Amino acid sequence: MSDINIKITDREGVTHEIVAPTDMAMNMMEIVRSYELAPEGTIGVCGGMAMCASCQCYVLSDHELPEMGVDEDMMLAEAFYVEDNSRLGCQIPITPELEGLEIKLAPES
């Protein structure tokens, strides 16, 4: 088994402790969708191309995440409710290093 534990706070403020697989090439946006923590059609709209920012989330724990790519950076430059700890969930692959990660979903926009 190569699952990790993650805490995700949804847009209603409810925190979910969930288990995410590291061996399925999944990203954080897909984890949120697979657990239906945000209604379909309000997250992952572009499918994970860093082109819509519907999966924006705030990283609450001090995990070291993979560096931001240009696409993600430029998309966040045009997104709303962006904070210093904003990331796009679709650009965060689920890896063993993320054990214990805590994130919060940004408001829908």
Partner 1 sequence: MIETDILIIGAGPTGLFTVFEAGLLKLKCHLIDALPQAGGQCSEIYPKKPIYDIPAFPEILAGDLVDNLMEQIKPFEPGFTLGERAETIEKLEDETFIVTTNKGTKHHAPIVAIAGGLGSFEPRKPPIPTITQFEDNGVEYMIREPEIYRNKKVIIAGGGDSALDWAIFLTNVASDVTLIHRRNEFRGALDSVEKVQELKNKGKIRLITPAEVTEIIGNTNVTGVQVNEKDKEPYTLETDHFIPLFGLSPKLGPIANWGLDIEKNAIKVNNALDYQTNIPGIYAIGDVNTYPGKLKLILCGFHEATLMCQSAYKRIFPDKKYVMKYTTVGGVEGFDGSKKEAPKAVVKAIK
Q: Is 68 in the site for partner 1 (CB under 8 A)?
A: no
Smallest separation, CB 29 to partner 1 (Å): 14
Residues from 80 through 99 that contact partner 1 (CB under 8 A): 80-82
Residue from 18, 26, 51, 68 binding partner 1 (CB under 8 A): 51
Q: Is 60 in the site for partner 1 (CB under 8 A)?
A: no
Q: In this complex, which beta carbon is closest to partner 1, that of residue 61 or of residue 109?
A: 109
Q: Is 26 in the site for partner 1 (CB under 8 A)?
A: no
Q: Is 49 in the site for partner 1 (CB under 8 A)?
A: yes
Class of residue 48 by CB neighbours under 10 A (exposed 0-12, middle 13-18, buried 19+): middle
CB contact set of 20 (below 8 Å; sequence gap of 6+): 3, 4, 5, 6, 26, 31, 94, 98
Smallest separation, CB 55 to partner 1 (Å): 12
What DSSP string describes 2-49?
A: -EEEEEEE-TTS-EEEEEEESSS--BHHHHHHHTT-S-TTSS-TTSSS
- Which residues form the interface with partner 1 (CB under 8 A)? 39-42, 45-46, 49, 51-52, 54, 74, 77-78, 80-82, 107, 109
